[in-house]
Structure 1
Amino acid sequence: MDDFFVNGTFRTKGVYGIRSMNDGAHYTVLANNGTQIVKYSYKTGQPVETLVDLKTIENSPVKYISNYTFNNDESRILISTNVNPIYRHSYTADYYIYDFKNKELKPLSENGSQRLATFSPDGLRIAFMRDNNLFIHDLRFGTERQITFDGKYNHIINGAPDWVYEEEFSFNKAFEWAPDGSALAFIRFDESAVKEFPMNMFEGQAPALKENELYPSVYSYKYPKAGEANSLVSVHVYDIQDKTTMTMDIGEEQDIYIPRIRWTQDPKKLAIIRLNRLQNKMEILLANARTGKSNILYREENKYYIAESNFDNLVFPEDGQHFIITSEKNGYMHIYLYDMAGHEKKAITSGNYDIADFYGYNPATKTFYFSSYEESPLEKYVYSVDSKGQKKKLTPNKGWNNATFSKTYQYYINTFSNIDTPPVISLYNAKNKLVRVLEDNQQAQETIKGYAIAPKEFIQIPAADGKTMLNAWIMKPLDFDPNKKYPLLITQYSGPNSQQVKNSWGGVNWLNYLAQEGYAVACIDPRGTAARGEEFRKCTYMQLGKLESDDMIAAAKWLAEKPFIDKQNIGIWGWSYGGFMSSLCIMKGNDIFTTAIAVAPVTHYKFYDSIYTERYMRTPKENEKGYEENAPLNWADKLKGNLLLCHGTADDNVHVQNTYELAERLVQANKQFDMGIYTNRNHSIYGGNTSRQLYEKFVKYLNEHMKK
């Protein structure tokens, strides 16, 4: 266990922080513990020059660089340091401006830490947020102008999303510069009516909050639960010259979402994505930035819901005549090209497969770049397709591929792995020729060869409907003897559009340790998971947990019939959605599962946030049956086996309330169970010795209850 949690024995290396420069022939990286920014040649891989070296700047106020961005003409660079995380994507930082011409490093502001500092496209200004208000720094005069004044914690946020938007729409910046720098568009969140969720913060350790030694503090933040009030959102455009703010028309309906705003190529036209509360109707509004008037450019409705992954794929190419979008409107996720009148010009991709990532469009060659599951749901490859429909597969290696392209698409970095191969990171040119391997993880491969590690075998298991075949893998115990019987642990996540079973490197982890200790381990993707089209992905709509738990129970029974499985000792474990599933399965499937570990589980979806829950379940008022029938809370009296519940008390995502309420139901049903509560830990439950202790608890629990 120390190999995983103390020594990092099987850790693989990545290639991080590569930033393409404007010319597409060079890139920059952070070097020497964040004290330098060095320019490299893609072609040779050799350093060309050191652009920033903190050690050569006299009395530099910056000791290390956390992150950086160039302005459009690369004459200045914005550096962040002293980063303090807020939630999953958000943080505060101290920003500094470095001017290449005069070699000066200056603070962006003297008035406290900032958020989201962003150069204007013309390079003359920087917009940033502080204390829920927006500010503009003028680089020519060194002045700072506040442009919103009503920002207030837990009430009004200008230019950044609230907690639930950040978590479930996956973004942290809610302002955008016009393409010519003439205006700043932003979303305003009024969360005054959203109810607060309080969390006690104790002294704890690693880190210790000394001020809470005797009396815990209370951290309270706005968290809209399913069916409860959300933030009221509005969209505004601040005109730089006039110093006036115009409100955009987003319609009369207030109970809506604005998950993204995007400028078109026209600095007078702002695109606004409007989503209804049920998330099954999406419209792109085209707003006149000067008058605020808007019209509908694009409308899409779905009998289930619109996938949130589409929002970042809205692109307005340089020609100003088109926009690109992704959609599942034909039953699979594909890329489409529209004109600015809202008419579909053509489907860029098509077929009975999902695209996974849309990497971008090269206007010089009129080429689109994307990845897809065309060959298999278990494998992902990168492709290009030109305006004539000529498609090329860019990644030949069988397995899982991701790509990062340079700004001019002259080069791309491919990260490849498969179930037996740790990540290999390679650089290719536009002609798809290998330039060089950046990281082959040879050392990790050599380390792994020195250990006896159980291999994973891909298998298919019938779903509960008896027709659908589910993708799965199984690890048999080391020194496997087909005449012996072994305890089985099922590992899973099972959430909507998630994927655990794929031909990619999953690392060597505690599950391999279990195989070494005489367990069979299986991983199953039930119905509702990714890469198999919309109907497979969305069949759990309005009934989260039902089909997934049915499938896990059916899979466990199918595996129990294998001659090498000890059917008296079948366990299931999972974290978050996986914890929801494992806690439900031990009770609903009490005739097959004997042991379960549920970490940070949702135990009733009425406790979870509005955006995620209602996307799949609608509101509790509209779908009482769906909420109640599949809630672990309501199955507590059916527990027969062994259940371990683990949760962090400072989990801002899945509140510890979920575990406490399930524990109380189990107590009142006179059911014995076990619990691990982790002081001040968030949804990931780590810090100090926490991970080591947590996983040792898992292993000890399984050994006590599943090894006879």
Structure 2
Amino acid sequence: MKKILLPLTLIAAPITTIQAQQQIEVAQIWNGTFRTNQLNALNTLHTKNQYSVLDYNRNTKTFTIDAFDFTTLEKVQTLFSTADFPEIKEISDYSINKTDDKILIATNSNPIYRHSFTSVYYLFDIASKSLIKISENAIQEPLLNKNGSKIAYAFENNLYVFDVATKKTTQITKDGKKNAIINGITDWVYEEEFAFVRAFDWNADGTKLAYIKFDESDVPVFSMDIYGEDLYPQQQVFKYPKAGENNSKVSLHLYDVSKVSTQDVALNAETAYYIPRIKFTNNANVLSVQTQNRHQNQLNLLFVDANSGKTSTILTEKDKAYVDVTDNLTFLNDNSFIWTSEKDGYNHIYHYNNDGSLKKQVTTGNWEVTNYYGYNKSNETIYYQSVENGSTKRDVYSIQLNGSSKKQLSAQSGTNSATFSPDFKYFINNHSSSTKAPSYSLVDASTGKNVKEILNNTALENNLKKFDLPKKEFTTFKNEVGNDLNGYMIKPKNFDAKKKYPVLLYQYSGPGSQEVSDSWNDSNDYWHMMLSQKGYIIVCVDGRGTGFKGADFKKVTQKELGKFEVEDQIFVAKELAKESFVDANRIGIWGWSYGGFMSSNALFQGNDVFKTAIAVAPVTSWRFYDSVYTERFMTTPQENASGYDNNSPITHADKLKGNFLLIHGTADDNVHVQNAMLLINKLVYLNKNFDWLIYPDKNHGIYGGKTREQLYTKMTDYILEKL
């Protein structure tokens, strides 16, 4: 489950505003008024000290992939332009191979689920400027082998290999079938919860292709009506494993290109219930495989001999709650590897020998590593991002592989993220804070000194001056058990401590998430500031279960999602009600997805403090949500029935006293509209008065055309009328 952003409608309300302020309008939040400049599709090259960017010229209507020098920031060349190849009208995605001489270009893309899509793909040879269409079909996830001679891709649940020289295509699996067998592409729940789509990988010399097969024959089917505009609706039918139900049976296979044969790899079915990652090591004959048991509290790293298929367990991690899967595994020349783990209570970097024995815990401390950027073998230095300066901030660091000589490389307080040059001499730092719009600068990776600014958003900052926006006031709330909860408050610019103001709480609250961060505004922030212009105070608090404050804080909600998180939001609301400037009779709460689950529960269980709640696309019972996410935190309903039911909004619907607006899209493949319908049924049965809004054919994001503007307008009107 991932968080989604939101806004609402306006009707007249007798709340004083500052005449000098230009009022934010809902339409402006979605029409680009507050859009930031950014480096689009920024990628570093592999063999040259350059980075590439996708650019679009609105005047000529051409897309270009341009390469820039990391040292001078000057454009070196245009690698590709649609002006030279009229068959490509737009570029939706691109990737450059590891030898920097070929580009895979995607066009005519059509989304499937959150990450997956099909596209028509072309292979462009930079030196010869030749363009090859890989397939007449819209395919998925093409991947070049290292020397660029072959491309593996998926089409209609089967895998194919395209030979670049001969333009011959070989079909390597033939049993692919919709809602039954998938080769090399993840099923719905893997894509959503393990966050990857391509389930195949080339070895180092391009002679073998490893892939995962998903047999979803026994997975229950979920169907959604798609209303469209035709006389009869259609149905979208797909396999969706809910908590406690059958998941896909996964298996691992190795395809030998020269032999044109496939070898099955035997894995322990219990400990390899999930295969969330595969990746070839630097040794062409060694494949790394990560497996998890169904409870996801044990993760094994296996090495597979690509010739014999023999497996050996290199590393095992266990946790009383769950072990997170990441993409931080990095193999060094000797096949020793870098790994991140929470095993000491905080997420840190570790260096292991190729036999799985620990060489060194590289980073330590009561803080979390939040991103791993890479390893520079020439000076044995690791580069990473962490929250060492506070869990709401992000900074970039370097450290020696042996754990010495740690250095902070980012200078500005706030949120910093890095894109390193291939030789690790420079990085592009993307900085923002709650008061500073995003800017991109070139930084010397050895000293941390700024070399040159690349891009800023000064024009946006100047444009925002007319709105005289309020600032987030960061604070902490100490809950009843002594935890310091990160929070912020947005007050009206004409705030008068002698007056009383209505308060709207916003939160997401899901495991490991974060809403309170010192970073630039998103669409919700502008909507909240719009409400502050109308006299509302906005408060956001990350309660127990959220991330970046250590494993104990994050995992305290295990087996009881919605218990401690709801307690914290109700506690904060009651603390706010004691403030002299807060109207204790006008406190509301809202959220989307997990946040909608929370706002529903908070209104029902906190009916003595909350007057109004808005729940967008909420889970109303974890029994209805997918297996991988839910069981990670709750185990199965068969094992933990009380955990599922005691914290369900449906269970507490009889406590509704205030104003409740429930919103959902009928084509939500993630949190099914079934969640809303069952809560609606319960509230109707209880003869409760509430409001609801259904968006036909809209998915979990509820967007498209004017949809978001209409949605946020509706929410605005509801807040102004009901809070």
Give the shorter-chain TM-score range: over 0.9
| SS at 1:166 equivalent | helix
Q: Deviations over 1:206-256 (max 9, x none)?
A: xxxx4xx22110001110000000000000000111111111121143871
2:156 matched residue in structure 1 = 131
Contact 1:98 1:104 in 2 (8 A): yes
Do residues 20 (structure 1) and 44 (structure 2) align? yes
Contact 1:225 1:610 in 2 (8 A): yes
2:401 matched residue in structure 1 = 387
2:73 matched residue in structure 1 = 45
Do residues 554 (structure 1) and 576 (structure 2) align? no
1:425 corresponds to which of 440, 448, 459? 440
| SS at 2:89 equivalent | coil
1:94 matched residue in structure 2 = 120
User: Which amino acid in structure 2 is aligned with residue 481 of structure 1?
Assistant: D
2:463 corresponds to which of 447, 455, 459? 447
Q: Which moved more, 1:545-554 or 1:284-293?
A: 284-293
Q: Which moved more, 1:100-109 or 1:234-243?
A: 100-109
2:8 matched residue in structure 1 = none
1:180 matched residue in structure 2 = 205
User: Which amino acid in structure 2 is aligned with residue 680 of structure 1?
Assistant: D
The TM-score with structure 1 as length reference comes to 0.96
Contact 2:272 2:291 in 1 (8 A): no
For the residues of structure 1 that align with 2:483 and 2:398, how far apart are their CA atoms? 32
For the residues of structure 2 that align with 1:333 and 1:216, how far apart are their CA atoms? 48
CA RMSD, Structure 1 to Structure 2 (Å)? 1.4
Contact 2:349 2:363 in 1 (8 A): yes
Do residues 145 (structure 1) and 170 (structure 2) align? yes
Give runs of aligned pairs for residues 122-521 of structure 1, distance below 5 A.
122-203=147-228, 210=229, 213-253=230-270, 256-308=273-325, 311-320=326-335, 322-388=336-402, 389-431=404-446, 432-465=448-481, 467-507=482-522, 508-521=525-538
Contact 1:603 1:662 in 2 (8 A): yes
1:658 matched residue in structure 2 = 675
For the residues of structure 2 that align with 1:605 and 1:546, how far apart are their CA atoms? 13
For the residues of structure 1 that align with 2:546 and 2:350, how far apart are their CA atoms? 24
Do residues 64 (structure 1) and 85 (structure 2) align? no
| SS at 1:422 equivalent | coil
For the residues of structure 2 that align with 1:268 and 1:387, how far apart are their CA atoms? 26
For the residues of structure 2 that align with 1:17 and 1:653, how far apart are their CA atoms? 26
For the residues of structure 2 that align with 1:35 and 1:474, how far apart are their CA atoms? 42
For the residues of structure 2 that align with 1:6 and 1:698, how far apart are their CA atoms? 15
| SS at 2:650 equivalent | helix
1:207 matched residue in structure 2 = none
User: Which amino acid in structure 1 is aligned with residue 427 of structure 2?
Assistant: Y
1:536 corresponds to which of 553, 569, 573? 553
For the residues of structure 1 that align with 2:82 and 2:411, how far apart are their CA atoms? 42
Q: CA deviation at 1:6?
A: 4.8
Contact 2:409 2:449 in 1 (8 A): no
2:14 matched residue in structure 1 = none
5+ residue gaps in structure 2? 1-24
| SS at 1:197 equivalent | strand
| SS at 2:428 equivalent | strand
For the residues of structure 2 that align with 1:576 and 1:252, how far apart are their CA atoms? 33
5+ residue gaps in structure 1? 204-209
Q: CA deviation at 1:410?
A: 2.3
Q: Which moved more, 1:512-521 or 1:356-365?
A: 356-365
For the residues of structure 1 that align with 2:278 and 2:31, how far apart are their CA atoms? 45
For the residues of structure 1 that align with 2:66 and 2:499, how far apart are their CA atoms? 58
> For residues 151 and 357 of structure 1, do their structure 2 counterparts lie closer, same or farther at Cα, with a shift above 3 Å needed?
same
| SS at 2:334 equivalent | coil
2:539 matched residue in structure 1 = 522
Q: Deviations over 1:269-297 (max 9, x none)?
A: 11110100000001011111122111111
| SS at 2:109 equivalent | strand
| SS at 1:436 equivalent | strand
Do residues 619 (structure 1) and 636 (structure 2) align? yes
User: Which amino acid in structure 1 is aligned with residue 139 of structure 2?
Assistant: Q
1:54 corresponds to which of 60, 77, 82? 82
Q: Deviations over 1:21-69 (max 9, x none)?
A: 2344222222344532222222222222222233234xx4222222222
Q: Which moved more, 1:380-389 or 1:543-552?
A: 380-389
Contact 2:214 2:248 in 1 (8 A): yes
Q: Which moved more, 1:481-490 or 1:28-37?
A: 28-37
1:206 matched residue in structure 2 = none
For the residues of structure 2 that align with 1:448 and 1:439, how far apart are their CA atoms? 18
- Structure 1 runs of 4+ aligned residues shifted over 6 Å read none
For the residues of structure 1 that align with 2:468 and 2:135, how far apart are their CA atoms? 56
Contact 2:351 2:362 in 1 (8 A): yes
For the residues of structure 1 that align with 2:350 and 2:37, how far apart are their CA atoms? 36
2:111 corresponds to which of 66, 85, 95? 85
Contact 1:5 1:691 in 2 (8 A): no
For the residues of structure 2 that align with 1:100 and 1:540, how far apart are their CA atoms? 52
Contact 1:24 1:407 in 2 (8 A): yes
For the residues of structure 2 that align with 1:238 and 1:170, how far apart are their CA atoms? 24
Do residues 597 (structure 1) and 625 (structure 2) align? no
1:29 matched residue in structure 2 = 53
| SS at 1:528 equivalent | coil
For the residues of structure 2 that align with 1:593 and 1:532, how far apart are their CA atoms? 28
| SS at 1:359 equivalent | strand
Do residues 586 (structure 1) and 612 (structure 2) align? no
Q: Which moved more, 1:395-404 or 1:273-282?
A: 395-404
User: Which amino acid in structure 1 is aligned with residue 546 of structure 2?
Assistant: T
For the residues of structure 1 that align with 2:115 and 2:173, how far apart are their CA atoms? 23
User: Which amino acid in structure 1 is aligned with residue 207 of structure 2?
Assistant: S
Q: Deviations over 1:296-330 (max 9, x none)?
A: 1101110110013xx3111112232x011111111
For the residues of structure 2 that align with 1:430 and 1:327, how far apart are their CA atoms? 25
| SS at 1:696 equivalent | helix
